[in-house]
Amino acid sequence: MKLATWNINSVRARTDRLLAVLERHDLDILALQEIKCKPEQFPTSELNAAGYEVVAHGINQWNGVALISRLPLQEIEFSFPQQPGFQKGTPADGAKFIDNGVPEPRALGAKIGDIQIWSLYVPNGRAVNDPHYHYKLEFLHQLNNYANNVLTAHPDQKLALVGDWNVIPTDLDVWDKHAMPEGIYLTDAERAAFFAFAETGLSEVSTKFAQGYTFWDYQKLRFPKNEGLRIDYIYASPALAQNAIAGMIDRAERKGQGASDHVPVIVEFA
């Protein structure tokens, strides 16, 4: 079973590349982030024709996540428990960000066979101590609580948390650790929030099979110079992780006209 995650940066702009990725890698499950479209704008008929079921969760312009699967998608969830919302502005009550109680389309869960999978687009954070940064940390914290609750209740559950984590976990995951604006993505708090998932028993399963970056900015010849980031990850619970047998980063997908700035990360399970 081949599982992949990919921040596609607009599915409408890259439907041809999407279909090619599914075919080239013979994927069974693909989690997308930044689809940047409403469900009715998603290329559902093309994907159905290619043999996939689809569920998309998005608005017209920003964010948006989707799951594409050969096996049926069941028990769809459009947010995880306690997923925070975000409203622009500075809180007047001393809070660190305004949670309007409406989760953005950044998480989509489903049961595929015996695997519980989430496609996740973790908030960017924008700048250290920006309200969006605190929103990001709260998003990761509540996601961690959810994962911990699932695995505490069902230790043998196959659980996959995959997506664009917008965290640079180690200095090896960025070409220049001083290159990020105001040090965003690699603060101690962001890194601690990322590694906290390992404390729940999850393990990141792409790293042991594949080296290299998963994102290269469109600007400043970042891709030709291989100045990138590794911010797309596949966390798996013990029952799932033990079946991981191979993995790769599809670096070639970054080439040519019309590429996303992220590439697919793929792990195969026995």
Partner DNA sequence: ATGACAGTCTGGGACTGA
Instruction: Give strand pairing partners of 174.
Output: 229
Closest contact distance (angstroms) between CB of 229 and DNA is: 5
Nearer of residues 15 and 157 to DNA, judged by Cβ: 15
Closest contact distance (angstroms) between CB of 157 and DNA is: 28
Closest contact distance (angstroms) between CB of 18 and DNA is: 12
Nearer of residues 30 and 150 to DNA, judged by Cβ: 30
Site of interaction with DNA (CB under 7 A)? 7, 9-10, 12-13, 34, 36-37, 60-63, 88, 123-124, 126, 132, 164, 166, 181, 185, 215, 217-220, 229, 231, 258, 261
Nearer of residues 45 and 60 to DNA, judged by Cβ: 60
Closest contact distance (angstroms) between CB of 60 and DNA is: 4
User: CA 66, CA 79: separation in Å to the nearest integer?
Assistant: 12
* Nearest C-alpha neighbor of 107 from the set 125, 124, 122: 122
Closest contact distance (angstroms) between CB of 119 and DNA is: 14
Nearer of residues 26 and 182 to DNA, judged by Cβ: 182
Nearer of residues 45 and 219 to DNA, judged by Cβ: 219
User: CA 220, CA 152: separation in Å to the nearest integer?
Assistant: 46
Closest contact distance (angstroms) between CB of 61 and DNA is: 5
Nearer of residues 127 and 192 to DNA, judged by Cβ: 127
**Per-residue three-class SS string for the chain:** CEEEEEECCCCHHHHHHHHHHHHHHCCCEEEEECCCCCHHHCCHHHHHHCCCEEEEECCCCCCCEEEEECCCCEEEECCCCCCCEEECCCCCCCCCCEEEEEECCCEEEEEECCEEEEEEECCCCCCCCCHHHHHHHHHHHHHHHHHHHHHHHCCCCEEEEEEECCCCCCHHHECCCCCCHHHCCCCHHHHHHHHHHHHCCCEECCCCCCCCCCECCCCCCCCCCCCCECCEEEEECHHHHCCEEEEEECHHHHCCCCCCCECCEEEEEC
Nearer of residues 195 and 218 to DNA, judged by Cβ: 218
Closest contact distance (angstroms) between CB of 176 and DNA is: 12
**What is the residue type of 258?**
G
